Structures are given as C-alpha cells and as structure tokens.
C-alpha cells in the first residue's frame, strides 16, 4: 500500500498534525491526513474544485456499473463542472508520499488514513497534466454544467462515492 498527500504547494518538508475541521471528529487530537493510491484520483484536481467521485465497490450492482460507467476498462469516475476545465489544464499538483508505518485507516471507502505524529515525506512527485494522470489510472472524467443531479444519483446508488468541495459548486438548479 502507498499513501499520499496531494497539494498545490511544492515545498512542504514536514506535515504537522492539525486539528480536524469536521464536526464529527475529536478536536483534541491533531492529525496528518493521507489518501491511499486507489482513491488518489479523487484528489487529482485543483484543491477547491468541486467534484463528485465514485468507484466500484464490493456491493456495487451490475446495473449501477452499466448506468454510471461508459467503459468496461474503468472502475473510477470523477465528475467536475465545465467551468473548472481550464484550472484542471493549468494546475500543477505535488504528491507527497509517506512511509505507512505511523498511519491508521480512518475511512475505508474514502481511503483516508491518519497519523497523530508529524510526517516527513519519503518522496515527492510533480503532476503537471492532471487529465493525463487520470487517464493513466483508467479514470473516467465527466464534465457537466452542474454537479447536483449526478451527486443525488450517486448517493442513491450502490457505488462507493465521495462529494468533495461541494461548497464551491454551482448552486443547485430546480427542475
């Protein structure tokens, strides 16, 4: 297993534990967050890019695979808004890889791992073409005007999913 932190910052030497922002987490313990390689595509976008991501899980039905994927070669999809296309083309990301020894699983579906101790990366990789990096990983990429319809559909599916940075998404439209 490999663990990464994705950033637009190129010069991070040490990751120090931070108190989580999430209301459902213990505010007395700082954490360093990492993502496993399988779910790394969820973060191969500009930081604030709103996105709906999903992948095939153990309980995903054949019907949902047929409804949500256009290629049998893909098991992961990222949906972003059209307005983020240029940012996707121009953003450089840095993948900081960690030694896995001090990390524990925080969320199996999301692929989140946490450490309570400061972490020094063991490697750093530069990604200058986000689309190519996603294509290399056989990730389907969809561009839509508004994310809310697909978000609602994915939440009601048997897929493993994540909604990221939706506070930056276009407002929900009424039908």
Quote the distance between the C-alpha of residue 120 and its chain's center: 21
The pLDDT of residue 22 is 82
Is 173 among the domain residues? no
Q: Which residues contact 60 (CB under 8 A, 6 or more apart)?
A: 157, 158, 159, 160
The pLDDT of residue 152 is 97
Is 136 among the domain residues? yes
* 113, 106 Cβ separation under 8 angstroms: yes
The pLDDT of residue 70 is 94
Is 128 among the domain residues? yes
How do residues 62-77 score in pLDDT, each as one tens digit? 999 999 999 999 999 9
Q: What is the mean pLDDT of the chain?
A: 96
Q: Which residues contact 96 (CB under 8 A, 6 or more apart)?
A: 4, 5, 6, 7, 12, 15, 121, 123, 124
Strands of the chain (E only): list them.
Answer: 3-7, 32-36, 51-55, 76-81, 93-98, 104-107, 112-115, 123-127, 139-144, 160-164
> What is the span of the domain harbouring residue 73?
3-20+30-168
For residue 174, the 8-state DSSP code is P
pLDDT, average across residues 69-98: 97
* Count of domains forming the chain: 1
Strands 76-81 and 139-144: parallel
* pLDDT higher than threshold 80 for residue 117: yes
* pLDDT higher than threshold 70 for residue 37: yes
Where residue 104 falls among pLDDT bands split at 50, 70, 90? very high
* pLDDT higher than threshold 70 for residue 175: no
Which has more pLDDT, 80 or 72?
80
Is 131 among the domain residues? yes
Is 25 among the domain residues? no
Is 60 among the domain residues? yes
Strands 104-107 and 3-7: unpaired
Report the range of poorest mean pLDDT among 10-14, 107-111, 118-122: 107-111
* pLDDT higher than threshold 90 for residue 26: no
Where residue 45 falls among pLDDT bands split at 50, 70, 90? very high
Phi and psi dihedrals of 154, rounded to 5?
A: -65, -40
How do residues 131-153 score in pLDDT, each as one tens digit? 999 999 999 999 999 999 999 99
Is 174 among the domain residues? no
Angle value at C-alpha 33, between 12 and 78, nearest 5 degrees: 100
Is 175 among the domain residues? no
């Amino acid at each position: 297993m490999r663990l990464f932190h994705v950033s637009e910052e190129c010069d991070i030497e040490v990751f120090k534990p931070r108190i989580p922002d999430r209301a459902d987490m213990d505010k007395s313990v700082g954490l360093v967050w990492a993502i496993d390689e399988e779910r790394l595509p969820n973060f191969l976008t500009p930081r604030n890019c709103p996105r709906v991501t999903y992948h095939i899980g153990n309980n995903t039905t054949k019907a949902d695979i047929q409804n949500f994927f256009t290629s049998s070669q893909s098991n992961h999809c990222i949906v972003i808004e059209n307005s983020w296309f240029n940012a996707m083309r121009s953003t450089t990301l840095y993948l900081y890889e960690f030694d896995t020894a001090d990390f524990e699983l925080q969320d199996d579906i999301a692929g989140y791992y946490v450490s309570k101790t400061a972490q020094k990366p063991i490697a750093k990789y530069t990604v200058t073409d986000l689309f190519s990096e996603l294509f290399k990983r056989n990730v389907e990429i969809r561009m839509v005007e508004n994310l809310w319809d697909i978000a609602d559909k994915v939440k009601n599916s048997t897929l493993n999913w994540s909604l990221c940075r939706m506070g930056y998404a276009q407002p929900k439209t009424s039908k």
